[in-house]
Structure 1
Amino acid sequence: MLTHTTARRPLGAWKSVLRHARQQRPTPVSLLRTMTTQTTPDTPSAVEPPPPPMPAATPKPSPPKPYLHSLKPQRPNTPTRSTFAVYPRVPSSRALTPAPLESYHAQQVRRLDRKGLRTRLFSKANPDAAKPGDVLQVTTKRGEPFAGVCLSIRRAGVDTAILLRNTMTKIGVEMWYKIYSPNILGIEIVWRRPKRARRARLMYMRQPKHDMGNVDHLVSEWRRTRNVFSSKGKAGKGKDASATGAKGRR
């Protein structure tokens, strides 16, 4: 009985030793479970090309060089500083790099207004330009011409627009027109405000106290004067023809 138990103990000890040795044995790389990907050897064909060189930075413009300005000393016996450096004016960044949106608007304006007449009609530099408070008439491709008092001029490049107000059948009607729209055939000044308006937006003219009402009488008078000036030559020719006919009859 005792010999049987002593014979089993060494066998169990050997099993535990072999089990520990099997766990400590190095495992081949192919059997390991890892999250890394297999890499290719660094062969000349598989080497990635070098990244392209970075573009060279544009050199910064050198600062303007000053020039020396000398003054004549008022007292020759007293030493004074008679020469100092004067630096020229630094150019603005807006002039060197114009905004892309402004360049695009200028390009569209040149395309839509080739002669520059509409630009000059609403330019602040033009003393005869249309101003808020004037009566303007807009002729479009479709519909009858619309005349009204200019309440506001919204200057926004190619999207420059004017707001006209008129009264039709005792109802106030306001219309926005974009001056560079291809649907507009012409914009004419019917009547000019005697005094310059002190505001850029005459929204107070919507009130009954300041509303000009219907401007059709100003439009009819303006058309009458245009017809007089345009038919003056024809009327003169008609008188001469009647006079010659009367002489021939005599």
Structure 2
Amino acid sequence: MIIQSARHPLGSWKAVLRRAQQQQQFLLRTMATATTTTITNTSIPPPPPPSSKPKSGWVKSKKVKFHVIKSTVPGKPIRTAFAVYPRGHSARAINPEALKTFHAQQIKRLDKTGARTALFSKANPDAAKPGDVLQVTTNRGGEPFAGVCLSIRRAGVDTAILLRNQLTKIGVEMWYKVYSPTVTGIEIIWRRPKRARRARLTYMRKPKHDMGNVDHLVEAWRRTRNVFTSGKGAKAGQHLGRPGKHAKGKRGR
């Protein structure tokens, strides 16, 4: 290429010199890479010795077993080309989920008896279900709130229930967290006679399916509880000022 370009007039000497510089730079690069590769190869440290404990979940075994096929000749099995390695440990067993562990710790701390967990557990046949009327008592003061359970949001320690009731002919909905320290009690007032086919009964917000006020169910539940409780009915009557035997004698006098 240099000889062919030299036959042209003097104006082509610039191209000749440019090509010569390019070839010189190419030779320098190749020489530099060759020297650097030899240096780096000599400076590679030896590999570290294999550790006894594997970093990953796979089990390292010294002897690898091969799949064997029985042959017609006794004592001479045929070894196939693929090896059979032992089953490794599960990644979930080695590294459990941190969020589930945290939820389990918080539930154990907030629900020591396990009554709240059993009240909303799917494995419990007597657990509260959507459509039942529940009453929640809090330590913030005021009367307990009772309403129809529209949905149960199961989210570990953040498990919550949505209750709906009518106050002064206005629909009111309240979210309550089951494991909250402010919630002192959750009671089942009335059970739905037939199991609901949905997990969220949002259709009960419509006037056609709305149960309305559930105070009459709460009053009936309180009456039955007072009847089956021994001694509380008489004490309540004396506290309210209802006339007893002694009161009738005083009035007769």
CA distance in 2, matches of 1:152, 1:183: 20
Q: How far does residue 233 in structure 1 lie from its aligned partner after superposition?
A: 9.2
Give secondary structure in 2 for the equivalent of 1:211.
Answer: coil
Aligned to 1:81: none
CA distance in structure 1 between the aligned counterparts of 2:115 and 2:60, rounded to whole angstroms: 41
Q: How many residues of Structure 1 are paired with residues of Structure 2 in the alignment? A: 164
Larger Rg: 1
Hey, what does 1:157 align to over in structure 2?
Answer: 156
SS in 2 for 1:123: coil
Aligned counterpart, 1:58: 55
Asked if residue 115 in structure 1 is aligned to residue 95 in structure 2, the reply is no
- TM-score under structure 1 normalisation? 0.59
C-alpha contact (below 8 Å) 2:203/2:209 kept by paired residues: yes
Matched residue, 1:216? 215
Question: What letter matches 1:156 in structure 2?
Answer: A
Q: Which amino acid letter does the alignment assign opposite residue 123 of structure 1?
A: S
Deviation at 1:89, TM superposition (A): 8.4
Task: For 1:107 and 1:218, locate their aligned partners in 2 and report how far apart those are by CA, in whole Å.
Answer: 37
Structure 1 regions of 5+ residues with no counterpart? 1-52, 67-86, 236-241, 243-250
Task: State the Cα distance separating 1:60 from its structure 2 match.
Answer: 3.8
Deviation, structure 1 residue 97: 2.2
Cross-structure match for 2:175 = 176
Q: In the alignment, which residue of structure 2 is the partner of 1:196?
A: 195
Cα distance, 1:98 vs. partner?
Answer: 1.7
Q: Structure 2: 5+ residue runs without aligned partners?
A: 1-47, 66-84, 235-244, 246-253
3-state SS of 2:225 partner: helix
Q: CA deviation at 1:144?
A: 1.1
Runs of 4+ aligned residues of structure 1 deviating over 4 Å after TM superposition are 63-66, 87-92, 232-235
The secondary structure found in structure 1 opposite 2:117 is: helix
1:13-55: CA deviations, max 9, x gaps? xxxxxxxxxxxxxxxxxxxxxxxxxxxxxxxxxxxxxxxx9xx
Structure 1 CA distance for aligned equivalents of residues 180 and 129 of structure 2:
20
- Per-residue Cα deviation, 1:208-230 (whole angstroms, up to 9, x for no partner): 00000000000000010000000
Aligned residues with identical type, % of pairs: 73
- 2:103 alignment partner in structure 1: 105
